[in-house]
Amino acid sequence: MIEMIVVDNNMLQAISTVLLAASVIYAALQVRENSYQRELAVMKEAYDYIRETRKYRRMIYQNKEIILKTKTVEELKKLEKEYPDLYDAIQEVFNCYHYVGFLIKLGFITKKKKEFIDEIHEPVLRINEIAGHIIDLENKKAGYKGYKKYFLYLIQEIKQELDVRTD
């Protein structure tokens, strides 16, 4: 014999509230998991990009004497003409740090994770130094002069890092 369970409106409302709460919690956990996966993907992409610039950073370090002579925009233009490979290497490193700095600025990479990246790749340039000096290359007002100015700043950072390494 089947026994009937009498369910009143209050009990139905309580059951539906519990089910709703469970579905909200499940959805929140899914969002958090997706967010975590996205965060890991961004971190991996940034790390891979940094690793790709290793050969360029090595080239910069090996040619430090040439870089240390570069102090003005004119000298930078001269560097671009006389040492195109070195200029391209500096540009690649710049682009990498601009990208990673942009991720930091947007909050895709938090400070703690940024410090982790700093440790694992031993950069010629420290991301935390670069991140505070991002220029928007898409902004037409910044233009080529802004890029050159930032490029000189990048060279200054390389010089400081080289000074630390040679002491």
| 96 domain-assigned | yes
Q: How high does pLDDT run on average in the chain?
A: 67
Rounded to whole angstroms, how far apart are CA atoms 57 and 23?
A: 50
Residue among 94, 95, 106, 113 at smallest CA distance from 153: 94
| 120 domain-assigned | yes
| 147 domain-assigned | yes
Domains identified in the chain, total number? 1
What's the domain range around 74?
43-166
| 139 domain-assigned | yes
Rounded to whole angstroms, how far apart are CA atoms 73 and 101?
A: 24
Residue among 151, 153, 162 at smallest CA distance from 62: 162
| 155 domain-assigned | yes
Tens-place pLDDT, residues 52-81? 877 887 887 788 777 777 767 777 778 889
| 86 domain-assigned | yes
Per-residue pLDDT, averaged over 72-92, amounts to 83
